[in-house]
Structure 1
Amino acid sequence: MLFDATDDLIHILLVEDSPTDVMMTREAFDFYKVLNPLHVAGDGVEAMEYLRREGKHSAAPRPGLIILDLNLPKKSGREVLEELKADPDLMRIPVVVLTTSKSEEDVARTYGLHANCYITKPVDFARFTDVVRSINDFWFRVVTLPPPRT
């Protein structure tokens, strides 16, 4: 069996319905040479299926970090966050909310649901890549994350 260099890296689940934002995130990862494997769920229902390893995600690796948009189809990011933090098997996974909303109500409600941080999504690519770099630097170089549960 061949050794995969990503085996020891923390997997990231990006929950994002905008193909443009997914593409920009991937490009920012490439630009800053972020090696952590990035997995994408396009809506809230798929995110929970991924996290619970259901259906086509039955062999999905457990992410060590979730980047979550609030405005998602089928199940909102708030609903995903609420379910995630109520599940004993998933609640320890840190969640970075990355969304376009600047609403104080959204910020307060999201932290009330135990998000680990809230970042307003910049609209231009240069700033967006800076945000992705900052997320990578903080969560993978500064913070000690809990070991993933299998």
Structure 2
Amino acid sequence: MNKPVKPALVVVADDDPDDCLMIREAFEDQCADCTLCFVHDGEELMDFLHGQHPDREGQTCPVPDLLLLDLNMPLKDGRQSLQEIKSDPRLQVLPTVIMTTSSDQDDRDFCQQRGANDYIVKPRKYSDLLDVVESLTKQWINKEHD
């Protein structure tokens, strides 16, 4: 008898509503086993990861299966959030993929040096985003849920 598959939890930290909508649709098309949770700034992200998100009722959040992290967000940006995540022993195992509009090599280097698992410049076309999500699910989701 097959063991039931636990839906993969993907946290998306991005403040752009259009990007969030496109990411949601791409995951719906490419990853039926994924549950997405959206946060819109770095403070909300860290609250969620520490179980202080209103939807979590004060419970510690299980470490998500994947975090998609935008660099340019209000209150606490993605760079600060990445540093905080990778310095927390409970969270440093969290696969963290930077997904941003910045193609700046300094941003890429900064994120790589601080433990980001990958760095992706947001695609402009939806078909390219579908390819990115398919690749992410193969690399980070499906291997966890085989």
Q: TM-score with structure 2 length normalisation?
A: 0.87
User: 2 CA distance for matches of 1:33 and 1:15?
Assistant: 18
Quote the residue 1:62 is aligned against.
63
Partners of 1:10 and 1:131 lie apart in 2 by: 17
Unmatched runs of 5 consecutive residues or more in structure 1:
146-150
2:21 paired residue number: 23
- Per the alignment, in what secondary structure is the counterpart of residue 87 of structure 1? coil
Once residues 53 and 16 of structure 2 are traced to their aligned partners in structure 1, the CA distance between those partners, rounded to angstroms, is: 23
Choose 75-84 or 54-63, whichever is displaced more.
54-63
Which deviates more, 31-40 or 119-128? 31-40
User: Which residue does 1:50 correspond to in 2?
Assistant: 48
What per-residue deviation string (whole Å, max 9, x for no partner) do you get for residues 38-93 of structure 1? Answer: 11111110000000111514244431211101111110100000000111111111
Take 2:101 and 2:69, find their aligned partners in 1: how far apart are those partners? Answer: 11
- CA separation of 1:108 and 1:137: change in aligned 2, threshold 3 A: same
SS at match of 1:91: coil
Q: Is the contact made by 1:64 and 1:93 (CA closer than 8 Å) also made in structure 2?
A: yes
Q: Percent identity?
A: 35
- Rounded Cα–Cα distance in structure 2 between residues aligned with 1:138 and 1:27: 19
- Matched to 1:28, the amino acid is A
Question: How far is 1:94 from its partner?
Answer: 0.9
RMSD after superposition: 1.8
Question: Structure 1 length normalisation: TM-score?
Answer: 0.85
> For 2:77 and 2:138, how far apart are their aligned partners in 1?
27
CA contact (8 A) 2:10 2:37 kept: yes
- Give the letter for the 2:98 counterpart: V
Distance of 1:34 and 1:138 partners within structure 2: 15
Measured in 2, the distance between the counterparts of 1:137 and 1:54 equals 30
Stretches of structure 2 that go unaligned for 5 or more consecutive residues are: none
Give 1:144 deviation, angstroms: 4.9
Matched, 1:93 2:94: yes
